[in-house]
Amino acid sequence: MKFFNNIFLILFFIIIGCGNSTKEINIYTSRHYHSDDGLYSIFTDKTGIKVNVISGKGAALIERIKSEGKKSPADIFFTVDAGNLWKVQSKGYFQTISSNKIKSIVPENLRGPNDEWIAIAKRARVIFYNPKKVSYNEIKNLSYEDLSNPKWKGRIAIRSSNNMYNQSLVASLISNNGIQKTETWAQGFISNFARKPQGNDRSQIIAVANEEADLAIANSYYIGLMLSGSKGSDQLEAAKKVKMHFPNQENRGTHINISGAGILKNAPNSENAIEFLEFLLSEEMQKNIVKNSYEYPILENVDPHLSIKNFGINFKEDRTSVADFGTLNPEAIKLMDRVGWK
Ligand code: FE
């Protein structure tokens, strides 16, 4: 009888053991897209790997990882803007992503230092203009650098300097032109503002539609979001009134930033995490991502959403390493502060 009891005990532990080895992955995300939920469920269907999602603001998630320490269940940190990914890296929370497949898909300028984070999709920080107020000749060769010219006095809308997208744009200018030149540029640029910096990227586009400003700087995907109608009819009507311009086509190209992810140093499921990142870079998932987020794909054979494609896809992209937006972020913040960019 004791023999059978032992057999039962052994069987019991085998069953419990199997339960514990359920394949899973824990994703901490600050991306505010409901459509990402769809990606997770397709991944589970394909691989049998269960996806647990913790979403929140970037800073709160970083705090959480810090307090969880070595026992953190986080496998992947998924967010927008290279500056935010670099923040996580600078705390030493990421590990190098060892996947030749990923390296062969994601160009080097779209990966963090030591391959500790990688791009999943791209966004351009472009100029939106009101064709009633700005002629094609005035806009056609316009660069970010040109926006410090006094001819644009009182005509430019952009959000505040505490926004990471702007910090990364300024960091890219520092990377290309140096601190001194960028500071002189920023002094001229802020004196051309149509209004005190306020609101989000979409409200800059709306300001241009309402003729409060002639030009706005905002991320490319917002126009897709507004044109979809999902943000309401006012935003849809505003979006129809503006056009998109890709700056710096005559030289280095338009500023490109990323949505991206890294694998945490203490990730309990790092192999599943690599599989997940490879999955996001597959053709099928790239199509899915750009269809829902209006971003640009990493894979060149995938087209962005039609409403974004209509603005043109053959523009020249700035190949400045997105890693620079992180390393130069402190300089960018200090510079914006010195010139009084609110
Ligand atoms: Fe955004």
Map out the domains of the chain as residue ranges: 2-122+257-305, 123-255+322-339
Q: Distance, CA 31 to ligand 1 centroid (Å)?
A: 9
Distance of CA 303 to the CA centre of its chain: 18
Query: Can you name the residues that pair with 111 across neighbouring β-strands?
Result: 118
Q: How far apart are CA 28 and CA 77, in angstroms?
A: 5
CATH number of 123-255+322-339: 3.40.190.10
In the chain, count H helices and then E strands: 16, 10
Q: Is the per-residue pLDDT at 76 higher than 70? A: yes
* DSSP type of residue 315: P
- Confidence label for 14 from pLDDT (cuts 50, 70 and 90): very low
pLDDT of the residue at 36: 86
CA of 85 to the centre of ligand 1 (A): 14
Tell me the pLDDT band of 21, cut-offs 50, 70 and 90. low
CA of 303 relative to ligand 1 center, distance in Å:
20
Distance (angstroms) between ligand 1 centre and the Cα of 129 equals: 19
Task: Kindly state the DSSP code that residue 318 receives in the 8-state scheme.
Answer: P
DSSP-derived secondary structure letter, 316: P
341: nearest Cα among 130, 160, 156: 160
How confident is the model at residue 37, as a pLDDT?
A: 87
pLDDT in tens, 101-145: 999 999 999 999 999 999 999 999 999 999 999 999 999 999 999
Q: For residue 22, how far is its CA from the centre of ligand 1 (angstroms)?
A: 35
Kindly give the distance from the C-alpha atom of residue 133 to the centroid of ligand 1, in angstroms, as a whole number: 26
- H or E segment at 2? helix 2-20
Using the 8-state DSSP alphabet, how is residue 208 labeled?
Answer: H
Q: Rounded to an integer, what distance in angstroms lies between the CA atom of residue 93 and that of residue 58?
A: 14
Residues 6+ away with beta carbon under 8 Å from 16: none
Domain 2-122+257-305 grouped into CATH 3.40.50.10740: no
Give this prediction's pTM: 0.92
Calculate how far, in angstroms, residue 48's C-alpha sits from the geometric centre of ligand 1.
31
Q: Do domains 2-122+257-305 and 123-255+322-339 have the same CATH topology?
A: yes
| DSSP H or E run through 285 | helix 283-293
Using the mean position of ligand 1's atoms as its centre, give its distance from the Cα of residue 33 in Å. Answer: 10
CB-based burial of residue 3 (10 Å sphere; 0-12 exposed, 13-18 middle, 19+ buried)?
Answer: exposed
Distance CA 130, CA 289 (A): 29
Q: Which residues pair with 220 in a beta bridge?
A: none
Q: Which tokens sit at 135?
A: 């002629």
